[in-house]
Structure 1
Amino acid sequence: MSKYLLIMRGTDESNAAMMANIEEMMVTTRQFIEETVKAGVLLAAEGLDDPGKGVVVDFSGETPVVTDGPYGETKELFGGFFMLDVASKQEAVEWAKRVPAAPGSKIEVRRVPESDEVPQVDA
């Protein structure tokens, strides 16, 4: 088994479409979560607060610069995630296809490496 993160990415337009149908979206999301729990693959699931309430810490200069959201130049925003423990990347993709998402949204599927796969640094 391997851990995969299904990252929900949306645009201003897809987020607005989701909010317009928030009650239906919440029902279908709860159903999806119940399916992943029944299948024994869900490790975690979280949504994120409105991007306008967040900040970005930018390290592109000599000192970090903090900017309040929303972030005008960002084309896609990370809106939340599902962490699954599944047998393969293909299984993770099959679950990602079932995530309730507004038109224009994307689900990025990324494997979470095991601790022994991460380069170790001697202290």
Structure 2
Amino acid sequence: MTKYLISFPSEAMVFPAEDFEVVVEASHAVIDEAKKAGVYVFGGGIDETVDPVLVAADGSVTEGSHAGHEVPNGGYLVLELPSRQEALDWAAKIAVACRCSQAVRQFGYDPAS
């Protein structure tokens, strides 16, 4: 089985403020469905109130992210699935729930993880 990252940036979620709770409930329903199906690995959103930092090999910490790299934000879902098509099917479900397109990325196989 392969792990897939399904994600969206915060700015992609455009809907009226009064719909927020409906969107949250719909997205949680998809998460619950993934858990029941046994494919859920991890999900969550980046806390955008906490600034990113870089930690170097010597342990030093600096504010910010890698030069030229956008700071990640938005929501993420990692599912372990038997096929890319199933990842696309799950992405479609979360796209409906979150009311925005979802990016799908495949993790490379790592025997140590």
Q: TM-score, normalised by structure 2?
A: 0.70
Residues 18 and 55 of structure 1: is their aligned pair in 2 closer, same or farther, counting only changes over 3 Å? farther
Deviation of 1:55 after TM superposition, in Å, equals 4.2
- CA deviations 1:8-48 (Å, max 9, x no partner) are 2242xx44526442110111111111111111110111112
Residue 18 of structure 1 contacts residue 25 of structure 1 at CA under 8 Å; is this kept in 2?
no
Q: Which residue of 2 aligns with 1:43?
A: 41
Of 15, 21, 24, the residue aligned with 1:23 is 21
Query: Counterpart in 1 of 2:110?
Result: 115
Q: Does residue 54 in structure 1 map to residue 51 in structure 2?
A: yes
After TM superposition, the structure 1 = structure 2 runs for residues 89-104 of structure 1, keeping only pairs within 5 Å, are 89-99=84-94, 100-102=97-99
Q: Select which of 94, 101, 109 maps to 1:106.
A: 101
What percent of counterpart residues are identical?
A: 26
* Contact 2:42 2:77 survives alignment (8 Å): yes
Partner of 2:77: 82
Letter in 1 for 2:98: A
Please state which structure has a larger fraction of its residues in strand. 1
Which of structures 1 and 2 has the bigger CA Rg?
A: 1
Query: d(CA) in 1 for partners of 2:16 and 2:27?
Result: 12
Taking a change above 3 Å as real, the CA distance of residues 18 and 2 of structure 1, as seen in their structure-2 partners, is farther
Aligned residues: 101
Contact 2:13-2:98 within 8 A present in 1 as well: no
Cα distance in 2 for residues equivalent to 1:8 and 1:81 = 7
Q: Let me know the Cα RMSD of the aligned residues.
A: 3.0
Q: Deviations over 1:58-105 (max 9, x none)?
A: xxxxxxx845xxxxxx7xx63021110100111100000000122xx3
Given that 1:6 and 1:83 are in contact with CA atoms closer than 8 Å, whether structure 2 keeps it comes out as yes
CA 113–94 in structure 1, closer or farther in 2 if over 3 Å, else same: same
Q: Which residue of 2 aligns with 1:70?
A: none
In 2, the alpha carbon distance for the partners of 1:41 and 1:18 equals: 31
Gap regions ≥5 residues in structure 2: 55-61, 65-69
